[in-house]
Structure 1
Amino acid sequence: MVVPVYCSLCIYKRRLNGAIVAALFFDLHSVHFIGGNSWFYFPAPLSLRVAFGDFSDGQGYLFDYVAALILMIAGHLVWELLALNRQVIKAGEL
């Protein structure tokens, strides 16, 4: 709950660190390992997970499309904020 609120506040204030934290947060949620001693450290409230890999021996991976979509959106925000920061630096040099 704290990480999404922090990221939203930082992105609202156009700070780059919030978008980077959001991208890392959703990157960790996009692929999950199943089997052995695996456990979900944070069950996502909204997910669309698709299994891939060989589950015949009880192990495999789940790919979460919702987390991957939000990761792409956060990556785009990082890209836009970097471009905005470059424009501000260029305007300050004039």
Structure 2
Amino acid sequence: MKFKVASLILALFTLIGLGVTIFSDFENIERLIICSVLYVLIPAYGAYGTFIRSRTGILVSMTLFLFQSIRSVGSDSLIPHIAPITISFPFSDFSNGQGYLIDYFAIFMAIFLAWLLKVVITPNKSLNRDK
């Protein structure tokens, strides 16, 4: 059940990310490509990988959320600071348009996916006793 819940959350993240990517007005093609990879392709692969309990899929999603947990905000950054699902709080001074966002949703998802990865990697002890 926990793998299905994680897969559902990642699928929702993917669908909302697709909407954000489609309806955002990006100035250049690089930002559009980066946004579609970060918010659509990687979470979709993670949703599928979590559903089938693939180590690689869970690890890729966990890495995405680890890198999204603290984001720099500024007009000069290439990676967009928006995220499809976020619970962010500012850290540092935003008076000159620069600062950092700490995303608690991304931190929670990274911890949840790390726990699922541990469940997948750790062998089942009850099966080992039967042998």
TM-score scaled by structure 2?
0.57
Task: Count residues in correspondence.
Answer: 89
> 1:31 maps to which residue?
70
Q: How does 1:35-50 map to 2 (within 5 A)?
A: 35=74, 37-41=76-80, 43-50=82-89
> Secondary structure at the residue paired with 2:50?
helix
Unmatched runs of 5 consecutive residues or more in structure 2: 1-39
Q: How does 1:66-85 map to 2 (within 5 A)?
A: 66-84=105-123
Do the aligned partners of 2:73 and 2:81 also contact (CA within 8 Å) in 1? Answer: no
CA shift, 1:24, in A, is: 0.6
CA shift, 1:48, in A, is: 1.4
More helix by percentage? 2
The 1:18–1:42 alpha-carbon spacing in structure 2 relative to 1, beyond 3 Å, is farther
Q: Which runs of 4 or more aligned residues in structure 1 lie more than 4 Å from their structure 2 counterparts after TM superposition?
A: none
The 1:19–1:34 alpha-carbon spacing in structure 2 relative to 1, beyond 3 Å, is same
Unmatched runs of 5 consecutive residues or more in structure 1: none
> 2:49 maps to which residue?
10
The 1:61–1:81 alpha-carbon spacing in structure 2 relative to 1, beyond 3 Å, is same
Report the Cα distance in structure 1 between the residues aligned to 2:85 and 2:75, rounded to whole angstroms. Answer: 25
